[in-house]
Chain A
Amino acid sequence: MSDTRVSTESTGSAGRTVWPQLEGLLHRVSKPARYIGGELGAAYKAMDASQINWLFVYPDTYEIGLPNQGLQILYEIINERSDGRADRSYAPWTDLEALMRSNNIPLFSVEHHTPAADFDVLAFNLSAELTYTNLLNCVDLAGVPIRTDQRTMEHPLVMAGGHCTYNPEPLADFLDVVVLGDGEEAVGEITAVMYEFKCSGSTDRTGLLRELSHLEGVYVPSMYIAHYDGPHLKAVEPRFNDVPEVVRKRTVADLADWPYPKNQLVPLTEVVHDRLSVEVFRGCTRGCRFCQAGMITRPVRERPADQVRTMVKKGLDRSGYDEVTLTSLSTADMSGIDGVVKDIMNDSDSSGAGPLSVSLPSLRVDAFGVDIAAEIQRGRRTGLTFAPEAGTWRMRQIINKLISEDDLYEAVDAAYSQGWKRMKLYFLTGLPSETDEDTLGIAELGKNCVEIGKKYTKRASTTVSVGGFVPKPFTPFQWFGQNTDIELQRKIGLLRDTTRKMRGVELKWHDPKATLAEGITARGDRRLGPVIEEVWRRGGTFQEWSEHFDLTLWTEAMAKHDLSIDWYVYRHRNEDEVLPWDHLDAGLHKDFLWTDWMDALDEVGLPDCRWTPCYDCGACTGYGIEHVVASAVPPAGGSQGTSGPRQLAVAGGAVPVSIGRAPTTQGLPT
């Protein structure tokens, strides 16, 4: 696609920079502050040919990518090393990209504006499937061949980490190295191996990759070969006997050992999460069956409360932020969270700085969650967000989000009574065995919440936000055939018709076409590579952005390469089917996931294993590690599977998902 020759000038030992050429173009692009760097906390360690130079790239805009905590953590860890250093880069918006291509300016780092090809590693964070084409675009803009087999010693290694890499197969043609799981330890080990290689003066790129494949958590796709039997994947096998058959994810045993980021980046321009973030725990064992993050990040590892408090205090002092968010997959579940929040508020009151606002990324659906919200939102009370995820109790048992209607109404009542006026409820549609009754239950919950609010305020309103469900690898729903975009559109239509008559209920929904595109890559195999490349070559970048998203690019690319959307997206998988990620290990036993899938279809819930006996999912036992939880008892408030047997009720009912062990014959690729 491109012929992006590096056009740069040297600044002596500190390396080359494109700044002089770039500077004159910035007044012609939107939001030029995206490209100037200068963040508080940025490392500015000079380019050093004797070290391993990492370029961490987020394949979306600066304002989406900058706040990414994973990338910031690894950036700091590398910059603390003596054998490595790191800069950052983000996908340039289309206006600058056009100017860069016409002026032969390559992708650059925001710190030194060093050309990307001058680094030893281009390391991408992959958090969303629809950014895959941006990854290709960034590699191409760097002047690096997009395919691994076309790269030589003069090119950087292209690496990726992040949640999407639990199925990296669609990107196998493009990624030299994939890191599975927590990156804190792995990036150091990779740096050490590469440093030794660099010092040796070797030019054997394949040898380096083979060496890297020996590191735990490191997957080198080119060291494996995929075998097919017609449309079926038979196996993905190592090419050499020293390359592991199965690559196990990395898990940091104790978060207390990694109090990062210590110097969170404070950008000069507005970004999506423009506040201090402190990770209070990693992992989640709520066991929501649709949730990939909850499955692949097990077990729960809490950060000690006093470390949280110190990180918040130091972080606020050095950043000047007046807002902190305590991040995790379910922050209200942290042991003693109410005390942690109170301490933070007290520290702030005695600091003499202005009012502090604390936010939790997700609120547990019960009165306890609302109490915490009341503690941290002393001032303004506009909206509160809950995520019941499904409209009926039957459906919530299937997805194992064990919130009773009473829990929700109690929480909503508590919120309205304490001054909140607007609720926001998140739901998924297109879940396994979902009937129209389940779908319409979403509207019903919204209506009932408004009714409760009317007791307290005439302005009570509820926003019902609905997203289409995409089954993800390493979840119990990985075998489930995704709803078609037409079916999702019909369900959204049902909800639109129903909520139109409901005063105070506002419906929002995610575009089912984007849900389909996400589904194509989420569970695809290596045969998807040419499809992604085709979409990119036809200009399909920034597919996360509705103004750039184009489903026809995806469907036409699938057709061109004789791949069936029915087969890849809509088909239920069988128990004995080889899945494209079977040679990777997220810590979960496949039979645990299958049993959980069967339980789901039987509408059987499964309580949180933090406070119950172990189900042997594999995440702890397989790694010789355990939950790190300060409190051995469930948090107060009694909800969501923590308060007794009623959530475990097994209900009957017809389940319109057919599961079979025989291969289906519909929609096979030719």
Chain B
Amino acid sequence: MKLRVRFTKNGRIRFISHRDVARVFERALRIGGASVAYSEGFSPRPKISFGLALSVGFESDAEYLDVDLAAPVDLEAFPGRLTESLPDGLVVEAVAPMLPGTQSLQQAIVSCDWNLEIIGLDEAALAQSVSELLDSDEVLLHRDRKGKQTVVDVRPAVLSLKVVGPTEDGVGLAASLSTDQVTIRPDELAPLLGENVELGRARRLHQWTNVDGLQLEPIAAATDHGRKPHVRDIGPDELVAAQDAATG
């Protein structure tokens, strides 16, 4: 039985790494008594796969994992039981059985929505920077990958940017950033908005898949591939979000 699980990672626990989150979930599934399927071979590993890594220090309302269970579980009780076995700050919000043939999270996610805190510019200056960036045909980003310098035009990866108003230490910026082909991370975006501009807090709000042109939440994509409404295994909020995304 393959399940897709959506969870949040907020508060202090944002400082643990992607690998740490994986280990925490492995243990929580065992504490909660779920029988996770194991791979074959000399060194059996639990069959759990995670989506896009979330950088250390970033929060998220929309993290996902796929887990293969050796025995069925009560889906209704599953999110609550798993959350009880998880440390503070990790909350399982939704779970749904996956249809056969569902793309893996790594393959399926094409973009993420973020709520970013930008430090170093006031609201007006940020608005100015944002509109300049959006008006540019080309935005060059210098990357250092294992000592190898590359220059990438990341303009196509910036899908939308919107100033949302002041935060505790800076100005809020809603950003939709591509994770498919040409990509850009929030910490790469901030310095492009001006000299000495830094990223403060960052929270992932959504991860999106693209199924036949529809922008869908990964759970919706896993349960019905976006073709028909589905009400059995996912919560109403999830469905509304998926439909809003599909229509809006």
Contacts and interface: CB of A to CB of B under 8 A. Distances in A.
B227 interface: no
B141 interface: no
Interface stretch (B42-50, B150-158, B209-217): B42-50
A318 B31 contact: yes
A32 B28 contact: no
Interface in B41-92: 42-44, 46, 56-57, 71, 85, 87-89
B48 to A, nearest CB: 11
A266 B17 contact: no
Given A33-B15, A268-B87, A27 B57 contact: yes
Nearest to A268: B16
Interface in A586-644: none
Contacts of A36: 12-13, 15-16
Nearest to A317: B31
A37 B30 CA distance: 22
B23 interface: yes
A529 interface: no
Contact of B87 (A24, A40, A355): A40
A270 B19 contact: yes
Q: Is the interface of B mostly helix, strand, loop or mixed?
A: mixed
A32 B42 CA distance: 34
Contacts of A26: 15, 57
Interface string A302-332: 0000000000000001111110000000000
A38 B26 contact: no
**Which of A38, A266, A320, A352 has the most B CB atoms < 10 Å from its CB?**
A320
- A-side binding surface: helix, strand, loop or mixed? loop
Contacts of B38: 354-355
B24 interface: yes
A574 interface: no
A665 to B, nearest CB: 57
A657 interface: no
Interface in A260-319: 266, 268-270, 274, 317-319
A27 B117 CA distance: 13
Contacts of B12: 23, 36-38
A646 interface: no
Contacts of A23: 12
A380 interface: yes
A380 B169 CA distance: 51
A379 interface: yes
Contacts of B108: none
Contacts of B42: 379-381
A320 B26 contact: yes
A171 B36 CA distance: 51
B27 A320 contact: yes
A379 B45 CA distance: 12
A353 interface: yes
B42 to A, nearest CB: 4
B144 interface: no
A354 B87 CA distance: 21
A266 B43 CA distance: 23
A24 B89 CA distance: 18
Nearest to A40: B87
B16 A33 contact: yes
A35 B12 CA distance: 10
Nearest to B58: A27
Nearest to A26: B15
Contact of A319 (B16, B31, B87): B31
A353 B30 contact: yes
Task: State the 5 A-B residue pairs at the shortest beta-carbon distance, nearest first.
Answer: A320-B27, A32-B15, A320-B30, A320-B31, A27-B57
Given A269-B16, A355-B44, 14 more contacts: A33-B20, A38-B13, A38-B89, A268-B20, A268-B87, A274-B23, A319-B27, A320-B27, A320-B30, A352-B33, A352-B35, A353-B30, A354-B38, A379-B44
23 contacts: A23-B12, A32-B56, A33-B15, A33-B56, A36-B12, A38-B88, A38-B89, A266-B27, A268-B20, A268-B24, A268-B87, A274-B23, A320-B26, A320-B27, A321-B30, A322-B30, A352-B33, A352-B35, A353-B30, A353-B35, A354-B36, A355-B44, A379-B44
